[in-house]
Amino acid sequence: MPFTIAIDGPAASGKGTIARSLARHFGFHHLDTGLLYRAIGAMGGDPVAAARSLTPADLARDDLRTAEAGQAASRVAAIPEVRALLVDFQRGFARQDPGAVLDGRDIGTVICPDAQLKLYVTACDEVRAQRRAAELGVDAGDLLAELRERDARDAARSASPMRPADDALIFDTSDMTIDEAVALAVARAREAGA
C-alpha cells in the first residue's frame, strides 16, 4: 500500500508549504485539495454541476490563489453534495505509488483516515494573516477578519468540519521558520515509515 501523508489545518498555517516539501523530499505525489474547491468556486454557477465537470485543467487556473477564490472555496466546501463528489477523486489520488501527500481541511478525518502520518498544521491568527498578506500583497489587517470568518465557517460546517484527527500530530508553526517546520515534518514522516 502506498504511503499516505494527510495534512490538515487552517489557511496560511504553512500546510501547503510543508506538503509540497514532503512530496519533493520523498518523491511522492502532492495534491492541494483546496484547489478543487477553489476551482469550483471560481467557476461560478451551480457548484454541484461544477464539481461534476471538474477537470485537471480547471486546477491550473491563474485566479485560484486570490482571497476571493479562498472565500468561494470555503462556501462551496460547505455543500455536502460537492464534498461527496470529490471524495473518490481525492482517495484515488492518495493510492498512487510510491506515496502521496494531500493537504486540506478534512484529509486525516474523512479522505484518508488510514493515512500512515497525519499532521494538523496551525499558527496564530495574526501570523497567518501576515503570511497571506505577504503572499497576496495586501494589508494583513484587512485579511485577519476574512481568515477568522473562513475558519469559523470551515470548523462549523456539518459536512467534514475542519478539525485535527484524533491521532494527528499538531504542528504550531507560529514561531517556526519554513526550514524548521519542514525538517520537523520530514523527521516525523521518517519515524512513521516514509
Of 138 and 8, more confident: 8
**Residue 17 among known ligand-binding residues:** yes
Strands (E), the chain: 3-8, 29-32, 99-104, 117-122, 169-172
Name which of 53-57, 102-106, 168-172 the model is least confident about: 53-57
**Residue 122 among known ligand-binding residues:** no
What is the average per-residue pLDDT within 8-28? 96
Flag whether pLDDT at 68 surpasses 90. Answer: no
Using alpha carbons, select from 61, 55, 57, 2 the residue that is nearest to residue 26: 2
All domains of the chain, ordered by start, with CATH? 3-189 (3.40.50.300)
| Nine cell digits for residue 5 | 501523508
Q: Strands 169-172 and 99-104, how do they pair?
A: unpaired
Of 152 and 56, more confident: 152
- Give the chain's mean pLDDT: 92
**Residue 92 among known ligand-binding residues:** no
pLDDT of res. 52: 92
136 neighbors 57 (Cβ within 8 angstroms):
no
Four-residue CA torsion sign, 93, 97, 99, 101 = negative
> CB within 8 A of 132, min separation 6: which ones?
11, 12, 67, 140, 143, 147
What is the average per-residue pLDDT within 123-149? 90
**Residue 77 among known ligand-binding residues:** no
Task: Convert the pLDDT of each residue in 151-164 to its tens digit.
Answer: 888 888 777 788 99
pLDDT of res. 152: 87
Of 158 and 181, more confident: 181
Q: Provide the pLDDT confidence category of residue 83 given band limits of 50, 70 and 90.
A: confident
**Residue 10 among known ligand-binding residues:** yes
pLDDT of res. 70: 82
Flag whether pLDDT at 102 surpasses 90. Answer: yes
pLDDT of res. 162: 84
pLDDT of res. 66: 83
Cα gap 98→13, rounded to integer Å: 27
**Residue 12 among known ligand-binding residues:** yes
**Residue 74 among known ligand-binding residues:** no
Rounded to 5°, the CA angle 131-173-171 comes to 140
